[in-house]
Chain A
Amino acid sequence: MARKLPKVDVVIVGVGWAGGIIASELTKKGLKVVGLERGKERKTEDYFMVHDELRYALRYGLMQDLSKETITFRGNERIRALPMRQYGSFLLGDGLGGSGVHWNGQTFRFLPYDFEIYSKTVERYGKNKIPAGMTIQDWGITYDELEPYYDRFEKLAGISGEENPLAGKRSDKYPTPPMKKSPPLKMFEEAAKKLKLHPYMMPSANLSESYKNPDGISRAACQYCGYCERFGCEYGAKADPVVTVIPVANKTGNFEIRTHSNVRRILKKGDKVTGVLYTDVTTGEDIEQPADIVVMTSYVFNNIRLLLMSDVGRAYDPGSGKGVIGKNYAYQVIKGNAVGFFEDKEFNTFAGAGSLGMVLDDYNGDNFDHSKVNFIHGGMVSLSQTGMRPIQNNPVPGGKPTWGKEFKEKSVKYANRFLSVAAQGSSMPFQHHYLDLDPTYKDAYGDPLIRITFDFEEQDRNLAKFLAGKCETVLKEMGADHIDTMKELGPYDITTYQSTHNTGGVIMGSDPSTSAVNNYLQMWDYDNLFVIGASAFPHNSGYNPTDTVGALAYRAVEGILKYQDKGGQVV
């Protein structure tokens, strides 16, 4: 029998970006909030020895311990899903701050097209442009409606950037100027301009200068140390929940964080949820935390897994396309890239920052005419300089050999003489791509793992090839002596790192029959349950997801306060 604790106003499941934003805003309004975090406490001093590629990038020092919990994966329903035993395709965050600690800080708004993707695609190209099985739908919110929340997140984090000429309208400029322009970025910019494209500096959560945010939090400027993605920031220059929203919530005296608390069930009674059941992983004790409002803010996979294990919401059925929990799992088409080798130039590419880069969106969203291509949407094309750490960056022209005398000679020669131009392709949902509970494999507590059924489609293969060609064109213009370009996307492979941008499964919308949450991320079926994160995306855009997650979290804050005030559905 679980020990039952006194009821609180709000309980949050997972304290990363979404949980931190909810906590800081609600506690400022005087609500009593408990944050349950299954990982450990984190603080900036933890990163004293962070410039350690082996420990953090290769041994995944900050990531979830897969021996306790992983996911299972299969390409389609005809084969047996098997556990992801080792890390590869994506990296699951863990501990206070979650994935918000080990991100690069690339902070993009989605395009106006994204939020009305179905209507706008049909309007411009007709219904037949959407292939059978592709389940794109409008988000139930427009860019203009979400814009003020983007602005709030960007001011919270102090995003450094300049206007993107091909994006939605901004109500205000970025709070800090763009980062420094390195020589490779300048080469990319010049080449792109010659090609009549529209390059701009990547919006960055690695501060270009010291910044004090509206909550009164001051942070230092980025030092371009080259250890960002997979690492925590030793300076607090990279915005993360631990150095921004969590201290604000703590200061109110209304926030209690319980680390090592693994939530295992959402509890419900009738059409309301009543709290959560969690295990204190240090003692093994089961504890019940009742609450008036439950806010789920863990990573995509765990949001869905908890709902399905708790039998909360209508589980998705890929056969009929009915049901919503687990629907529209999407990812990112990230392999459409080109690598250029330079004989006579050397670069300081050992230096860098997670979001030091230049981007162009001429091939993103519906910024170009799709009538002659056999895919929809697109992706951003960028050159980013995130720090070329030596274990993971040893390309040689042509990709061969991979060992021996010639490999060593060439990989050493080109160590500071190659640049990648990379595309981040959008990912469209399909009826047969989804998340559900695995029938066989369990976590350390005996609960089922989440199962991913996903593969690349014709849409993705065409998109990747198209984008790779564009990357190659830019590199040619940049003067590369040898260029290796992706030829074929191939099947989705969970063993090679691509992107930790997993999306969907608890998607938002305006129709309860095709979406799980409304545009305040309130569950249609349970008025006092809010589910926040990239799990709400009906598809994934050709950008990094965090800005949109942050914006939706601010939107949800408003929804929670409305619910607290009046009850019922807030839309």
Chain B
Amino acid sequence: MAEENKQNPESISRRKFLRNTGFTVGGLAVGGVLGSLIPRNNDKQQKAPPAEAENFNQALMYFTPEQFQLTEAATERIFPEDETGPGAKTLGVAFFIDHQLAGDWGFNAREYMQAPFFKGEKVQGYQGRLRRRDIFDIGLRELQNHSMAVHKKKFTELKEEEQDAILSDFEQDKVNLTTISPSGFFLLLRSATLEGAYSDPLYGGNRNMNGWKMRNFPGSQMAYTDIIDKEFKKINPQSLKSHLNH
């Protein structure tokens, strides 16, 4: 605990929160918020994590190796490594997308997928019957096909500028596809890339919180009461995992 706070002076423990707010346990109980705020292992020394722990999360749940490589290459063009920091590949974005496609999101599980299907106005939103994992299957295959048609090379073998041009063709609907909208696939890939770069590392992207560090986003902090009315302050990020230690 003490160690952790030294590294991250802005982090406020749940116990300190109780002191800060002067929360009085009076009146009617309001649903047990206090129970969850009481530290479980506050006096015990935190064990240091083993150096260079193997990341068992980096395996594939959905993609074939070829789909994975294509996704890694394409997302790196959307969010490339540069002077500002790591790109999609280093951040683990392709693993993130693979894991997401394997679950609810890939199956559109919480979306209305009932028939009948009609082509609608743009303002009426997505009206297709395909689920995201189908769209990725088709989109990635067509990305490869388009690359072969234009350059007689796989997408992963192209130069960066050539890869950008292929992706632009999708973005601007310059590829003829019957089953999916090329720009729709591109937008899906783009939003999934940002999600993978900036979501909590628990989902497999934003490796070591490097996406957050790059833009000075502190991740999940318990409180900002001490800095909210102050000038900009850089704070070392914390992920949701740190909450389990409080």
Contact = CB atoms under 8 A, between A and B. Distances in A.
Interface stretch (A41-49, A515-523, A530-538): A41-49
A348 B30 contact: no
B203 interface: yes
B17 A223 contact: yes
Contacts of B33: 44-45, 220, 234-236, 243
A558 interface: no
Query: What are the 4 closest A-B residue pairs judged by CB atoms, nearest first?
Result: A351-B224, A51-B220, A223-B223, A346-B232
A441 B167 CA distance: 36
B26 A52 contact: no
A346 B215 CA distance: 11
A85 B114 CA distance: 9
A206 to B, nearest CB: 11
B164 interface: yes
Nearest to A70: B112
19 contacts: A44-B30, A44-B36, A45-B36, A48-B36, A51-B200, A58-B195, A69-B112, A74-B124, A80-B118, A182-B229, A217-B28, A218-B24, A223-B222, A224-B223, A235-B17, A251-B28, A390-B212, A391-B195, A404-B78
A379 B218 CA distance: 34
B57 to A, nearest CB: 15
Interface in A47-66: 48-49, 51-54, 58-60, 65-66
Interface stretch (B42-50, B80-88, B146-154, B172-180): B80-88
Interface string A119-162: 00000000000000000000000000000000000000000000
Given A224-B223, A247-B31, A408 B36 contact: no
Interface of A: 43-45, 48-49, 51-54, 58-60, 65-67, 69-70, 73-75, 79-80, 82-86, 88, 180-183, 210, 212, 215-221, 223-226, 234-236, 242-244, 247-248, 251, 345-348, 350-352, 356, 390-391, 394, 402-405, 408-409, 411-413, 415-416, 440-442, 491-495
B126 A85 contact: yes
Q: Is the interface of A mostly helix, strand, loop or mixed?
A: loop
Nearest to B110: A65
A348 B80 contact: no
A461 to B, nearest CB: 15
Nearest to A250: B28
A394 B230 CA distance: 23
B112 A84 contact: yes
A401 B105 CA distance: 27
Given A43-B31, A404-B80, A416-B216, A220 B123 contact: no
Contact of A416 (B108, B193, B215): B215
Given A217-B30, A492-B123, 4 more contacts: A243-B31, A350-B218, A390-B198, A415-B215
Contacts of A67: 108-113
Contacts of A49: 240, 243
Contacts of A216: 27-28
B65 interface: no
A166 to B, nearest CB: 25
Interface of B: 12, 17, 21-33, 35-36, 77-80, 82-85, 87, 104-105, 108-114, 116, 118, 120-127, 164, 167, 171, 190, 193-195, 198-200, 203, 211-212, 214-225, 227-233, 240, 243
A443 to B, nearest CB: 9
Contact of B104 (A59, A86, A440): A59
Given A86-B125, A248-B28, A404-B164, A60 B225 contact: no
B94 to A, nearest CB: 16
Contact of A82 (B85, B127, B194, B230): B127
A472 B167 CA distance: 35
Interface centre among B78, B123, B214, B229 (most CB of A within 10 A): B123
Nearest to A411: B215
B120 A412 contact: no
B116 to A, nearest CB: 7
Contacts of B22: 210
Contact of A351 (B84, B164, B228): B228
A208 B200 CA distance: 28
A441 B36 CA distance: 43
A32 to B, nearest CB: 21
Contacts of A348: 224, 227-228, 230-233
B82 A405 contact: yes
Query: Which of B25, B79, B114 has the largest number of chain A CB atoms within 10 A?
Result: B114
Contact of A225 (B87, B112, B194, B222): B222
A220 B31 contact: no
Contacts of A180: 225, 228-229
B66 to A, nearest CB: 23
A493 B195 contact: no
Contact of B224 (A218, A226, A442): A226
Given A224-B225, A225-B223, A53 B199 contact: yes
Nearest to A88: B125
A225 B9 CA distance: 16
Contacts of A52: 199-200, 220, 240
A219 B212 CA distance: 32
Contacts of B211: 390
Contacts of A412: 84-85, 214-215
A84 B17 CA distance: 41
Contacts of B116: 440
A199 B104 CA distance: 45
A85 B112 contact: yes
Contact of B26 (A43, A82, A218): A218
A225 B243 CA distance: 14
A216 B23 CA distance: 14
Given A59-B104, A59-B105, A440-B116, A403 B190 contact: yes
Contacts of B79: 403, 408
Given A45-B35, A223-B223, A218 B30 contact: yes
Q: Give the most central of A73, A215, A244: most B CB within 10 Å.
A: A73
Most buried by A among B113, B121, B212: B121
